[in-house]
Amino acid sequence: MKLGRIIILIMFICQPLMAEDGIHFSFAPVFNFGFGHTTYTMDNVYLVDSTGAIVGTAKSELKFPLKAMYGGIKMEMYSDISGRRVWFANAAYSRNINDPPSVMTDEDWITPLGGAGFEWSYTESDVKFDYDMIAIQVGRRIYGWEKAVTYAVAGYRYQRIVQNIVNVRGWQYDLRFSPPPLHNIDSTVHALDYKAIYHQPSIGILYDVQFNPQAQFELSVSYMHVFASDIDDHILRNKISDASGTGPGFYSSVEFNLVLNHNNPGLRPFIGTSADFSILSVSTKQKQRWYGDDPISDNYDDTGDISENIPHEFTSMQFSLGVRIGLAF
């Protein structure tokens, strides 16, 4: 019922523009199966003893899953001459429907000064997931006319990814002793909260092939300049870490659309499928602040301590397969 009201409202708003010859609109609910992961790495972190002397380095790598079902909406406005778009503008919104079935992994290594490095901790955890994505794209025809047309495109994508990490399982060496004993971990504790935000302006090319009046195929590739930030609230260690930076990204998508009633000058239902791939990488410095005493530090209260300029990298690789059923008018 609500969806029907939204469609009627959109058609009412767009009616003045529809009176102009060649201006058209489309509207479609979208459902996607997404997968991939975000990898968050801290490397070459100096370890010091009670006197402040460097005794080694540490590395941590956290891998957050993005496998889930997503639902949303996509709308487009375009100018049409002889059945081919001259320009277009579209907007889409997507949100997760479920939590990832895959686990988040957390691995830690230590390299003593002058010694060989070794992995001292590995855990897997369940993820409570909260995701929002907004995408905008505009395109203008630069080559072609009939069946095959090339467009210059510019776009912007916003992603907000929040992951609450619970139910920790794995193993860890207790480095306070020599030789360090190995302990198994199996806890229902709420371990950490991780939030990443990506702003992704882009430019690229879109190639559009019209097989016949009913069937249309699109391929697009874009370069993204990513503005990213992340916050890691390590609840178990009373420590919050944050970073921001920029880096390169790449986005590509393919779409296939089939109009079910192309001879109708009014409402034209259509179905579509899509596949998307994106990757981004940011290398920056992280700041850590202890808002309470860290349980792993003996005979020392870490509250209020700050550590800065920690090498920090995060990479996000995302895939998506989608289907939509909509109306063009």
Q: How many helices (H) and strands (E) does the chain have?
A: 1, 12
210, 211, 213, 215 alpha-carbon torsion, rounded to 10°: -90
DSSP classification of residue 99: -
DSSP classification of residue 98: S
Q: What's the distance, Cα to Cα, between the start and end of the chain in Å?
A: 20
User: Where are the extended beta strands (E) located within 49-103?
Assistant: 54-65, 68-81, 84-96
pTM of the model: 0.87
CATH number of 23-328: 2.40.128.90
Q: Is 5 helix (H, G, I), strand (E, B) or coil?
A: helix
pLDDT in tens, the chain (329 residues): 444 554 444 444 444 444 345 788 999 999 999 999 999 888 877 777 667 777 788 889 999 999 999 999 999 999 977 667 889 999 999 999 999 999 999 999 988 887 788 899 999 999 999 999 999 999 999 998 778 999 999 999 999 999 999 999 999 998 878 888 999 999 999 999 999 999 999 999 999 998 887 899 999 999 999 999 999 999 999 999 999 999 999 999 999 999 987 677 678 899 999 999 999 999 999 999 999 998 877 778 889 999 899 889 989 999 999 999 999 88
> CB of 167 within 8 A of CB of 126?
yes
Chain length of the chain: 329
| pLDDT tens, residue by residue, 72-90 | 999 999 997 766 788 999 9
Residue 151 CA to residue 138 CA, distance in Å, equals: 9
**Residue 281 burial (10 A CB sphere; 0-12, 13-18, 19+):** middle
> CB of 231 within 8 A of CB of 240?
yes
Whether omega for the bond prior to residue 179 falls within 30 degrees of 0, making it cis, is yes
227, 245, 313, 133 alpha-carbon torsion, rounded to 10°: -20
Any residues with CB less than 8 A from the CB of 102 and at least 6 apart, and which? 65, 67, 127
In one-letter notation, the amino acid at residue 158 is Y
User: What tokens were used for 165?
Assistant: 């990490």
Domains of the chain: which residue ranges? 23-328
Residue 184 CA to residue 112 CA, distance in Å, equals: 23
Residue 138 CA to residue 174 CA, distance in Å, equals: 55
> CB of 246 within 8 A of CB of 216?
no
Considering only CA atoms, give the Rg of the chain: 25
| Listed residue (159, 47, 58, 41) closest to 105, CA to CA | 41
Residue 153 CA to residue 217 CA, distance in Å, equals: 16
Please list the residues that pair with 30 across neighbouring strands.
72, 324
Q: Is 304 helix (H, G, I), strand (E, B) or coil?
A: coil
